[in-house]
Amino acid sequence: MTSNGTPEKTGAAAGPNRLAAAFGRELSLASRSVHADDYTNSHTAVAPPMHVSTTFRYADDPNELLPWSDFDPARMDNPYIYSRASAPNTTRYEAILTSLLGGPVVSYASGLAAFHAMVVFLNPKRVAIGGGYHGCHGILKLMHKLNGLEQLELEDDNDLAKLQRGDVIHVETPLNPTGEARDLAYYRRKADERGCYLTVDATFAPPPLQDPFKYGVDIVLHSGTKYFGGHSDMLSGVLAIHPDRAAAAAAPGGGSWPQGLVGERLLLGNVMGSFEGWLGVRSLRTLELRVLRQSESAQRLVDWLVASSQKKENKADGGSNVIAEVVHRIQHSSLQPEASDPESWLCKQMPHGHGPVFSLWLKSEEHAKRLPSKLFLFHHATSLGGVESLIEWRAMTDAAVDRRLLRVSVGVEGWEDLRDDLLQGLQALSEELKN
Ligand X SMILES: Cc1ncc(COP(=O)(O)O)c(C=O)c1O
| Residues binding ligand X (CB under 6 A) | 110-112, 133, 135, 172, 176, 201, 203-204, 223, 225, 235, 237
Q: Are 161 and 133 within 8 A, CB to CB?
A: no
CB closer to ligand X out of 176 and 259? 176
CB closer to ligand X out of 116 and 374? 116
Closest distance of CB 384 from ligand X, Å: 7
CB closer to ligand X out of 112 and 217? 112
State how far the Cα of 101 lies from the Cα of 187, in Å rounded to an integer. 20
Q: DSSP states of 276-307 as a string?
A: HHHHHHHHHTTHHHHHHHHHHHHHHHHHHHHH
State how far the Cα of 62 lies from the Cα of 65, in Å rounded to an integer. 5
CB closer to ligand X out of 7 and 135? 135
Closest distance of CB 224 from ligand X, Å: 7
Q: Are 358 and 178 within 8 A, CB to CB?
A: yes
Peptide bond into 356 cis (omega under 30): no
Closest distance of CB 223 from ligand X, Å: 3
CB closer to ligand X out of 295 and 309? 295
Residue nearest to ligand X (CB): 111
What is the three-class DSSP state of 197?
strand
In terms of Cα–Cα distance, which of 38, 73, 33, 80 is closest to 56? 80
CB closer to ligand X out of 73 and 355? 355
What single letter denotes the amino acid at residue 143? M
Closest distance of CB 107 from ligand X, Å: 11
What single letter denotes the amino acid at residue 347? C
Q: Are 388 and 380 within 8 A, CB to CB?
A: no
State how far the Cα of 85 lies from the Cα of 80, in Å rounded to an integer. 8
Closest distance of CB 117 from ligand X, Å: 12
Closest distance of CB 78 from ligand X, Å: 26
